[in-house]
Structure 1
């Protein structure tokens, strides 16, 4: 018995020594790790942390968290540090926290193929100098678990403060909510005004979540798709290489394009880029699309006896995966691609052979899943994933936001707006105050409503609550959103401002008791519009892919590429089809890939032309119709500054306007020398109403610059007219060709549109019509009177 007791005492002493050593090492481990996380903003301005804040951080960081941070230093090879700014996580603007207690949440995801070994919150914030500092602070939580507090001090009040807060990685799961709650006080008296202007703190969108992650090896399982090739937990831009055979044929490129459009639809707002090569990437995931006889020799696969989908390890990098889409023939490869984008929910295991696939009936015009129906009123419940998205609380909550994507060619022939039938509920104030509801479209005010107070019976406490009745504190408003405010991609914003009900000193209601909600059966209606547009218009293409996305499956679209495309041209092909999927939310199952020799057979198609050399044969078919020619004078003997031949771009006709401003008559056409990329649109010669949009450049490398522009909203907004030149990331848009019309307008609408252009003539005709009507009525009354006298 004594040896056992002695052994237990020795073991206890040893554990106590190890634990004490761990606690002693913890304070030094965290600063060392934080120091190796670079931050230019933090370097520009040191992080002012008061002694109280430092002590609080030490208390918030327990010993297990310190041990995790220490272990991160010896993580496996391939570990990375990821910086995620709040602006990349949806907090595009500063988080404005107001009142005695207010909270905001930022959503953070962790990729399925990575594990977090250490984490920090780099918080950049400013707070009011009028607070009571010993008791005013931030509470930081992860998934509603408080993990740290950040007290305020007088020394740094009113300044931008940067503080690194270590987070316990064990709290982080696949999807996480990082919560910031302001606890603010401006007096130690027994009562405070919750709406006092001294109660504020702002958190900058440059604040960051910093994660140290290490890769983990996932099983080869199709059930995990689309992960790890696309992970919806990751908010960064999707970059997914495609491995294609050298000189891939049209059928193979079409299958790859279908997959690219599917991944683009999944990536959505993140954007997607699809580099192409004929070799396996050395350290990346990739999609391999080829017939079995064309697959890379390094792959060791089972026999291919039909359309086959495989997930396997990348031989060049064991922790990366390959998605292989293959078959014995081009038709089987196409079936495998269709099966992946349509039936992945039934897949499991490392490989699946497709027995049969039916891609369904062709899509109808304007029925893209991401577009609102334009033939009926649309209820708000169809625009949200969770009813809580239509509810807010607090005196100054963030806006209720609804994304509205509609066809670009909607036309209001009579000047009517978009009918909005809005139904909403709110905590009614007891007296008339400044509580309002503002309706905005794309941050532009449409109308603002003052919210009515409660009735006298309500104020006296005699309010009855009929649970199943539509009465109660419910209001409705019908208004028209001006048609000129609506584009192809819109956001409807509903902002409640519920004013304070304070009636005297210390006579206010409790902090933030007010709530408001918009009923899911509120509706918006685009059915009064017709489909009609003046083309070419690069704004339609760059914002929604119109006219190609008119059919979500691109059934009336052909993509024309050079006979021997370079890698950059293949990347442009796949990336543009990825954009089409992003805009429609549907894979391009019926797109056609063609070469210059096939153009004569492309009837009834709108053409997307991709060519990295302006003088390439792909554009020779329409040389007379092109609004822009590139390389036409490249052999005129002119030399550049370094002795090289100058590539020249010249316009076939004079400019009519540039960057939205009309130019005076007599303006000369524009010529430019040097490297540039161009996006241009024109009517397909010999095919009325059919459109051509061309992505071209002086050389293939410039195409990548054009793809970069299409991913930047501020640059996309500058793409207009029928020609846009891109050089050094700058955009010049202009109209140089003749417009044409697409769509249909009823005869009475065309007549009215012509009439309103001549108001004087319209007035004269109206007067004549009124006079004729009066004469007819007078004559009829005279005949009626004469008939009565005859009787």
Structure 2
């Protein structure tokens, strides 16, 4: 017999199970329709934004003089243009003054853009005592990917009997003169073929601004993936630097307000970047406006249109789970060449750790390096004209290069030049970091072709040594600038005869600098090496020997500090940190053999509580700061203390000898961005030194190191000699003891020998 109630109940449950997917599908379809309507409304309100850029002449000229004269009569200012923008208007506003001895009705200032004359300004002698202001419109049609705005002085100096081309005919621009350009944003295709464009464009000379989008709740994998990408863009931006901006998203839909006749408005739950940006999502965690992106089965990177600001693009890093986000970023940054299409799938990835000192931007210590490898274009090694900017080579040496008691770093220098008609004041001068090293007279013998190249003699007259230029090692830091300045004399016996200007000097690209035989050994802690080169972390440029320690859900300020630090390290090494690891303090194993980067005051406090603070306290005690925790973090976990301060601090790890801990910390999280600003500023971070830099609203103090340790490899004899040399009195005592001992041994030996002879006789 069948129980009716039981059968009816089963039927009801069955019908409910059948109907439930249909209801879910209906809800999903309605949500999809609503998303489509919102995106249609965003597309209707879409317009191309306009950007205005302004640079001063000082920004564009760098460290060059803003002065031209009758001999060195040209000044060129270069600037780029982005791939995704088009110039609609350009104006140059400049102020200058000039010499009162210019020849009348001859002198003029000629202005050209990319070789096309845009204006010629007459220079009248009776107006020489005035400041002259001009505004010139530059035609957008003349703009290219790279542009050169050139100012040429065509002038003579009026003498007693005739006019001559002379440095006395000068013109100087004011540094606050400006170049202002307006550009319209263009919409580019969703294609990775141009990557890293449009997120980074090498034609731009200003600091790269990067927008990162992360969920409200993040794990280590999000921090690790974002740090790797920040280091990659830092390596691409190089000297420009990187400034990051963080956006946090949730999964809630927009707040939509409906009106009559299908009209509606909506509000964003969070801010979307009004620029190109990078967003990290998984199949189960993404913003509502990106919920129509299909799920993925493997880590993937794709380019999509920013749904709110549709003129811009989003680089979407997506994976089924958070672990795949790191794989996706590793695949993108390790192999960015040959990409094409809107998506890039990472099916499998096996990245081997790189050996130490492999950083592409560091000079190789295993073989001589040619000058041609230190420049982007061969023309950078050549100069024309009687006076011009020097040939400049930027050299990044391994920060721990041991140069003690070395005569110098040899440079096998070869150069060519047009010979002067007669012996005069023509010179080639060599500078390192602005300090004069050596000068050479350019004679009339003529040097042409490979067989006539010159080898610069040693500073010491050693006839048996191969000719080379010795750079004193004590003048070389981690970042160096080697300059070769050609200076040709312009002699003319006749009035009003302009020199032909056909002089040319060239540093041969086969010239070499040789760092073979140098060891790696340096004193730590040394924050100057960290802020300038990322050392000791960048010793392995993939950061495979680095552990980043953050709290479980870092604040926006802490994440931005992570991104800033990694962009600085990427710029210094030229390689992304694809193998860095991220952990919390509780997860760091005892005896971890890695260099540690700590970000955040709470994290530093937790680290010191777990692993001890003996090495840090020794440094603080030497400065009378023992127990002054409020400089580094809030002792009671509260931010209600006397005032804000931030610090970069470094000390030896208590987990493994010879390993380094660097902490970016603040007693109030809102003050942590002060460290970011310090690290991004080349002018400010030059002063960073010692084991700690403390930043307060009033000033910045740098505290010297008192308790040192050493990292690197050095032979036992060199290590002993180096450390004993720091204690001359002790060396003198040891030498005296050794001499007395030697004398006594010789006395005993000779006395015994004499005794044996007497006994034998």
TM-score bracket for this pair, using the shorter chain length: 0.7 to 0.9
Q: Is the 8 A contact 1:275 1:567 kept in 2?
A: no
Deviation at residue 419 of structure 1 after TM alignment? 1.2
1:368 lines up with 2:359 in the alignment: yes
Partner residue in 2 for 1:113: 84
Contact 2:491 2:499 in 1 (8 A): no
Q: 1:93 to 1:534 in 2, by over 3 A?
A: same
Give 3-state SS (helix, strand or coil) of 2:118's partner.
Answer: strand
Of the candidates 242, 247, 251, which is equivalent to residue 277 of structure 1? Answer: 247
Aligned pairs for 1:557-568 within 5 A: 557-568=546-557
- Cα deviation for residue 237 of structure 1 reads 1.4
Match of 2:113 in 1: 142
Match of 2:177 among 203, 207, 210: 207
| Displacement of 1:771 | 10
- For the structure 1 residues 553 and 466, does the alpha-carbon distance in structure 2 shift closer, same or farther, using more than 3 Å as the test? closer
Please give the per-residue CA displacement for 1:381-415, whole angstroms capped at 9, x wherever unaligned.
11112111111122221111001001111112324
Displacement, 1:208? 2.2
Structure 2 vs 1, CA of residues 127 and 752 (structure 1 numbering), >3 Å: closer, same or farther? same
> Which has the larger displacement, 571-580 or 146-155?
146-155
In structure 1, the partner of 2:524 is: 535
Q: Does 1:493 align with 2:493?
A: no
- The 2-side partners of 1:97 and 1:740 are apart by 51
Cα distance, 1:474–1:555 mapped onto 2, change above 3 Å: closer
1:655 matched to 2:623? The reply is yes
Deviates more, 1:546-555 or 1:251-260: 251-260
Structure 2 unpaired stretches of 5+: 1-45, 250-270, 458-466, 632-641, 751-761
| Residue 512 of structure 1, aligned match among 488, 493, 501 | 501
**In structure 1, how many angstroms separate the alpha carbons of the residues matched to 2:343 and 2:372?**
39
When residues 183 and 342 of structure 1 are mapped into structure 2, their CA distance, relative to the original with a 3 A threshold, is same
Q: Using the alignment, how far apart are the partners of 2:538 and 2:453 within structure 1?
A: 45
Aligned to 1:727: 696
TM-score computed with the length of structure 1 as normaliser: 0.77
Quick one: distance in 2 between partners of 1:505 and 1:108?
Answer: 40
Structure 1 residue 540, shift from structure 2 partner: 0.9
Whether contact under 8 Å (1:81, 1:212) holds in the other structure is yes
Flag the 1:151–1:380 CA change in 2: closer, same or farther, 3 A: same
Tell me the SS of whatever aligns to 1:470.
Answer: helix
Match of 1:317 among 281, 306, 309: 309
Alignment of 1:253-272 (within 5 A): 253-272=223-242
The alignment status of 1:388 with 2:379, answered yes or no, reads yes
> Residue 762 of structure 1: CA displacement?
8.8
Q: TM-score, normalised by structure 2?
A: 0.80
Q: CA deviation at 1:98?
A: 2.5
CA distance in 2, matches of 1:620, 1:291: 35
- Structural RMSD (CA): 3.2
1:349 to 341, 350, 357: 341
Match of 1:184 in 2: 155
Is the aligned partner of 1:584 residue 2:573?
A: yes
Q: Residues 303, 614 of structure 1: CA spacing in aligned structure 2 closer, same or farther, 3 A cutoff?
A: closer
> Does the 8 A contact of 1:595 with 1:618 survive in 2?
no
Q: Decide which of 750, 757, 763 is 2:719's aligned counterpart.
A: 750
Alignment partner, residue 14 of structure 1: none
Q: Secondary structure at the match of 2:337?
A: helix
Aligned to 1:328: 320
**2: CA distance, partners of 1:168 / 1:509:** 32
Per-residue deviation at 1:569? 0.4
Kindly report which structure 2 residues correspond to 1:382-781, keeping only aligned pairs within 5 A, or say none. Answer: 382-449=373-440, 451-455=441-445, 467=449, 469-471=450-452, 478-502=468-492, 504-506=493-495, 510-600=499-589, 603-613=592-602, 616-625=605-614, 627=616, 652-655=620-623, 673-728=642-697, 730-735=699-704, 738-754=707-723, 756=725, 758=728
Distance 1:712 1:743, change over 3 A: same
CA shift for structure 1 position 705: 0.7
Equivalent residue of 1:181, what SS? strand
DSSP 3-state at the match of 1:346: coil
Could you say what secondary structure the match of 2:541 adopts?
coil
Give, in angstroms, the shift of residue 764 of structure 1: 6.6
1:353 Cα offset (Å)? 2.6
Residue aligning to 1:54? none
Equivalent position of 1:165 in the other structure: 136
Shift in Å at residue 160 of structure 1? Answer: 4.4
- Aligned residues of 1:119 and 1:166 also touching (Cα < 8 A): yes
Match of 1:10 in 2: none
Match of 2:207 among 237, 240, 258: 237
In 1, the alpha carbon distance for the partners of 2:567 and 2:313 equals 21
- Determine whether 1:225 maps to 2:195: yes
Over 3 Å counting, the alpha-carbon distance change for 1:747 and 1:566 in structure 2 is same
Q: Deviation at 1:481?
A: 1.5
CA–CA distance in structure 2, aligned partners of residues 193 and 614 of structure 1 = 70
1: distance between equivalents of 2:612 and 2:373? Answer: 47
CA distance in 2, matches of 1:729, 1:224: 45
Matched residues in 2 for 1:439 and 1:101: separation? 20
Q: Matched residues in 1 for 2:438 and 2:136: separation?
A: 43
Going from structure 1 to structure 2, the CA distance change for 1:417 and 1:766 (only over 3 Å counts) comes to farther
Question: Structure 1 regions of 5+ residues with no counterpart?
Answer: 1-74, 459-464, 630-650, 658-666, 779-791
Instruction: Measure the CA separation in 1 of the matches of 2:48 and 2:355.
Output: 51
Tell me by how many angstroms 1:626 deviates. 6.2
1:38 is matched with none
Q: Is the 8 A contact 2:236 2:571 kept in 1?
A: yes
What is the DSSP-based 3-state SS (H/G/I as helix, E as strand, rest coil) of the residue aligned with 1:294? coil
- Alignment deviations for residues 239-264 of structure 1 (CA, whole Å, 9 cap, x no partner): 21211122211122211211111111
Render the CA deviation track for 1:174-211: whole Å, top value 9, x for unaligned: 221212222112349997543x2322222344332211
SS in 2 for 1:255: helix
Partner of 1:293, secondary structure, is: coil
Structure 2 counterpart SS, 1:166? strand
Tell me which of 217, 242, 246 is aligned to 1:247.
Answer: 217
Question: What is the number of equivalent residue pairs in this alignment?
Answer: 659
Deviation (angstroms), 1:291: 1.8
Moved more, 484-493 or 142-151: 142-151
State whether structure 2 residue 314 is matched by structure 1 residue 295: no
Query: What SS class does the counterpart of residue 679 from structure 1 fall into?
Result: strand
| Partner Cα distance (2:451, 2:174) in 1 | 42
Query: How much has 1:710 moved relative to structure 2?
Result: 0.9
Kept after mapping to 2: 8 A contact 1:100/1:185: no
Q: Give how far 1:430 is off.
A: 3.5
Pairing of 1:59-70 with structure 2 (within 5 A): none
Kindly indicate whether the alpha-carbon contact (under 8 Å) linking 1:426 and 1:473 is maintained by their aligned counterparts in 2.
no
Separation in 1, partners of 2:593, 2:599: 19
405-414 vs 747-756, greater mean Cα deviation: 747-756
Cα offset, 1:418, TM superposition: 1.3
Q: Offset at 1:694?
A: 0.3
Contact 2:612–2:654 (Cα < 8 Å) also in 1: no
Q: Is the 8 A contact 1:413 1:749 kept in 2?
A: no
